[in-house]
Amino acid sequence: MVRLSKNRFVLLGISWVIVIHLAACMSVAELPPDVRLTPSNAQKTEWIPTPTPFVPLPSPTALAQTDTPALTPVSTETPIPLGIFSPRLNKGIIPVPYLQDTCRYLADRWNPQNAKPGTIVVPIMYHGIRKEGGSINDNITVSEKYFKETMQHAVDLGFQTITMEQLAAFLQHNAYIPPRSLLLIIDDRRLGTVRNHFLPVLQQNNWTMVMAYITGVADQREWREIKSVLETGRVEIQAHGFLHNGSTYFTENTPAEIIHNEIYAPITTFEENLGYRPIAFIWPGGNFTPQTVVEVRKAGYQLGFTAYARGPILFNWIPQGEPERSAGDPLLLLPRYWSTAAYMNLDQAVELGQQAADYARQNQQTEMEWYNRYCGANYPPLSSLAIPAEQP
């Protein structure tokens, strides 16, 4: 019984060997389709499934109607950074831009109706002007002779004065101002200096100036004198603190009530005596802190001036040192040249302005290509603007 089963097993094994041998002898074409092999040098026949028909739904963007197009660049790629005009400045001084929207900056920069690239603003800080023969015992007073020479030098170089309103429009929107603009600022309560020294120069040249005034100690007689000077149409007044003395200068330890009074009280005084709000805050003693810069911005001032002589001002280009940069609001920490070196500073500013115009001319095509590539239709088209080789 066992032997019979063994013989059957042997016969079954021999049968499988014969089947395998016959399969190996068959041609590829004779193999069943499900076991047919494809040689490596033969054309492969791939099975491509038929996709199920699919109609995509509209995207949420297509379904929702947008009344106002979003201000987004045309290109979705990350914009390459543009260069910045970086002339040689004093050690530690860096040009700081303040506009975050590059498309808006370029649109304002290259608008033919706006200020031309290379337009400079030179703010000069004055205090005292000593008559000839008088002694000078400090580093903020200039002689009458030097004052007149500086003013004539500005005339010879083609400077014209601007107002605070003009400066604000220029810095915010590149509104047109003279290519070489001058901002004359006299600090403190110096009505006599304005009448005796400035007004004759202003009237002769059709110029204007700014009084940075300490308003907290002025009585009604003084306010009448202020108004008489303002009525000439040559002088404007802006805030220079309320009391402005050694106990009210801004430091990290200045009490909050003093800070508030020095910043906000001038606004009330202006409104009561002149009928308008000041737009510029000239820092008392040149002192500021990051905290007080924030407070001046909250109070509604548009511009602020330090006592640092960093260089001229250009559109979206403020030269600053580390103290100003750390406060983070360039338009409230604008530089001013000192009157004692203004003659030489005028020449330096003119040279820098010409360098800025040359830089703009060299980079005009690059900036326009950047604008066309990354800025959407919500911005105006740029037209070609020929920059004059020399400013008037």
pLDDT class for 349, splitting at 50, 70, 90? very high
Task: Reply yes or no on whether the pLDDT at 202 is more than 60.
Answer: yes
Convert the pLDDT of each residue in 62-104 to its tens digit. Answer: 333 334 444 444 556 778 888 999 999 999 999 999 999 999 9
Work out the burial of residue 34: count CB atoms within 10 Å of its CB; fewer than 13 is exposed, 13-18 middle, 19 or more buried.
exposed
In a domain, 57, yes or no: no
CA distance 57 to 133: 89
In eight-state DSSP terms, residue 334 is B
In eight-state DSSP terms, residue 239 is E
Among 259, 277, 279, 257, residue whose Cα is nearest residue 268: 277
In eight-state DSSP terms, residue 314 is B
CA distance 273 to 337: 30
Q: How far apart are the first and last CA of the chain?
A: 126
In a domain, 192, yes or no: yes
How large is the C-alpha radius of gyration of the chain? 38
User: How many domains are there within the chain?
Assistant: 1
In a domain, 26, yes or no: no
Task: Reply yes or no on whether the pLDDT at 247 is more than 90.
Answer: no
Convert the pLDDT of each residue in 252-289 to its tens digit. Answer: 999 999 999 999 999 999 999 999 999 999 999 999 99
Residue ranges making up the domain that contains 274: 94-374
CA distance 169 to 302: 10
Task: Reply yes or no on whether the pLDDT at 193 is more than 90.
Answer: yes
In a domain, 59, yes or no: no
If one compares 27 and 102, the residue with the highest pLDDT of the two is 102
Convert the pLDDT of each residue in 97-138 to its tens digit. Answer: 999 999 999 999 999 999 999 999 999 999 999 998 888 989
Mean pLDDT score of the chain, rounded to an integer? Answer: 84
In eight-state DSSP terms, residue 52 is P
Among 251, 281, 252, 253, residue whose Cα is nearest residue 266: 281
Element (DSSP H or E) covering residue 295:
helix 290-299
- pTM of the predicted model as reported, rounded to 2 decimal places: 0.79
Among 170, 155, 84, residue whose Cα is nearest residue 120: 170
In a domain, 365, yes or no: yes
In contact, 315 and 119? CB cutoff 8 Å: yes
Among 193, 194, 185, 161, residue whose Cα is nearest residue 240: 185
| The pLDDT value given to residue 133 | 82
Among 237, 119, 223, 261, residue whose Cα is nearest residue 180: 119
Work out the burial of residue 378: count CB atoms within 10 Å of its CB; fewer than 13 is exposed, 13-18 middle, 19 or more buried.
middle
Alpha carbon 371 to its chain centroid, in Å, reads 16
If one compares 62 and 250, the residue with the highest pLDDT of the two is 250
In a domain, 79, yes or no: no
In a domain, 302, yes or no: yes
How many other CB atoms are found less than 10 A from the CB of residue 282?
Answer: 30
Residues 119-156: b if buried by 16+ CB within 10 A, e if exposed: bbbbbbbbbbbbeeeeeeeeeebbbeebbeebbeebee
In a domain, 54, yes or no: no
The CATH number given to whatever domain includes residue 219 is 3.20.20.370
| The pLDDT value given to residue 81 | 85
Q: What angle do CA 296, 298, 304 make, to 5 degrees?
A: 30
pLDDT class for 51, splitting at 50, 70, 90? very low
Task: Reply yes or no on whether the pLDDT at 347 is more than 60.
Answer: yes
In contact, 283 and 304? CB cutoff 8 Å: yes
Q: By three-state DSSP, how is residue 197 classified?
A: helix
